[in-house]
């Protein structure tokens, strides 16, 4: 049987700090003195933000390029 109720499906991520299920949404990430809206998993309770390694290494480089273009 595979009809598991959605409410019982575990969230893909939980907060490493307080254990709260993380929420996917746009948050503002401060970088080099500017804030950018980025869709990330974050904790509503303690505001911990999950930044995947690929994002930290890739997206931030893109942001850096955006800044240099201006």
Residues 50-69, interacting with Zn ion (CB under 5 A)? none
Query: Strand 34-42 vs strand 23-31: parallel, antiparallel, or unpaired?
Result: antiparallel
Residue located via tokens 């904790």: 43
Using CB under 5 A, pick the residue from 46, 49, 66, 67 that binds Zn ion: 46
The residue behind tokens 């999950």 is 50
**How many residues are recorded in the chain?**
70
- Among 6-14, 23-31, 48-56, 61-69, which window interacts with Zn ion (CB under 5 A)? 48-56
39 binds Zn ion (CB under 5 A): no
Phi, psi of 28 (to 5 degrees): -90, 125
Closer by beta carbon to Zn ion, 28 or else 64: 28
Query: Given the rule CB under 5 A, which residues bind Zn ion?
Result: 15, 17-18, 20, 43, 45-46, 48
């Amino acid at each position: 049987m595979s009809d598991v109720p959605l409410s019982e499906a575990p969230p893909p991520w939980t907060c490493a700090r307080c254990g709260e299920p993380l929420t996917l949404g746009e948050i503002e990430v401060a970088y080099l003195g500017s804030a950018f809206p980025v869709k990330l998993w974050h904790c509503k309770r303690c505001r911990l933000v999950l930044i995947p390694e690929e994002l930290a290494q890739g997206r931030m480089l893109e942001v850096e390029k955006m800044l240099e273009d201006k």
